[in-house]
Amino acid sequence: MKKTFTKLRVRYAETDQMGVVYYGNYAQYLEQGRTEWLRSLGLSYKFMEDNHVILPVVNLNVDYKYPAKYDDVIRITTTLKKIPSVKIEFYYEIHNQENKLLVSANTTLVFLNSITRKLIKAPDYLLEKLKDI
């Protein structure tokens, strides 16, 4: 399935008193990975929201293996697990600059109409971009 790579440098503000990335910040890293994954298709969250589609996270699973530290350069690999329906599922791996696996994770998001707040199917414009993958 469609895979993207996003590189980030860990900022001081993202670390805790022990000098490692605070566990809650990994959810934001995953969001950045998803955003770049969508952008690689020529789409954006803003475009989807402008077309009344929102994507709330309904499931997040993170397996922490090793900590990222201040000033590390991390690489977020974001992979679509399968063609979306009313939900879209991603698998992630986060590695440091030495290619050490720090985190593996999964998220599930659902497609909602932003006006009615009801579940909808994946938009055709997204499915069209994915059909050749």
Catalytic residues: 16
Interatomic CA distance for residues 107 and 87, integer angstroms: 10
> Nearest 5°: phi and psi at 36?
-70, -35
Nearest to 65 by CA among 32, 34, 28, 21: 21
Nearest alpha carbon to residue 53 among 40, 64, 38 = 38
C-alpha span between 39 and 32 (Å, rounded): 10
Determine the 3-state secondary structure of 20 from DSSP. Answer: strand
